[in-house]
Amino acid sequence: MTSHRPKICVFAGAATPSDPAIIAAARQLGAQVGEGGYDLIYGGGTEGVMGAVASAAQAAGARITAITLRQYAHKPQLAEADITVVETELERFYLFTQQSPVAKFVLPGGPGSLREALQGLETAVYEDGPPVILVKVGEYLKGIKMYFDQALGSGLIAPAYKDRLRVWPVGSPLELVID
């Protein structure tokens, strides 16, 4: 079944962090995605930060699209999620983009989440893609924002792209950071 609601893509890890603030932020984001009338695109699974955001989004009414790697296809998936299995990370990222999300949210995670955040930022700047929105949980993603601001200030990134990277304070309305 196809939904005509706007979609939000989320980059997050499958690990369960020791910092409970990360899971709390994931659940808050997921709830606001569903309650705000959005659907969710993510990397699949029911575990860790990704699982927390997807479960909360689904419980709040979002339709879920999981694009997962074949090596993780045996892992449990959310019931009623649309699941696509791909071979490579590049293929997965391409399919994330092809879903036409209105924004790409980034939660703290491992190297995969960091790579996806930077790929999202690259498409936001060079391909006029949707904005990348860092979920503010402690200081975890502060370095990405600091780099971006410094690159803007030194002319490495044109001023016209200053709104391509945004920060979402957990709990604030999503509409404040989504076009």
In the prediction, which pLDDT does 156 show? Answer: 96
CATH of residue 95's domain is 3.40.50.450
In the prediction, which pLDDT does 98 show? Answer: 86
pLDDT digits (tens, 9 = 90+) for 94-152: 998 888 999 999 999 999 899 999 999 999 999 989 999 999 999 999 999 999 999 99
In the prediction, which pLDDT does 41 show? Answer: 97
In the prediction, which pLDDT does 2 show? Answer: 60
pLDDT digits (tens, 9 = 90+) for 57-105: 999 999 999 999 999 889 999 999 999 999 998 899 899 888 899 999 9
Residue 72 lies in a domain: yes
Closest CA to 69 of 87, 47, 95, 51: 87
Residue 1 lies in a domain: no
Distance CA 168, CA 172 (A): 7
Burial of 80 (0-12, 13-18, 19+ CB in 10 A): exposed
Q: What is the tally of structural domains in the chain?
A: 1
Residue 62 lies in a domain: yes
Helix, strand, coil distribution of the chain in percent, nearest 5: 45, 20, 35
What domain range includes position 160? 7-176
DSSP string, 84-113: EEESSHHHHHHHHHHT--SEEEE-S-SHHH
In the prediction, which pLDDT does 42 show? Answer: 96
| Token digits of residue 62 | 């979002």
| Token digits of residue 104 | 């790409």
Starting at the edge strand found earlier in the chain, the sheet holding 39-42 runs 82-86, 64-69, 39-42, 7-11, 103-106, 132-136, 165-169
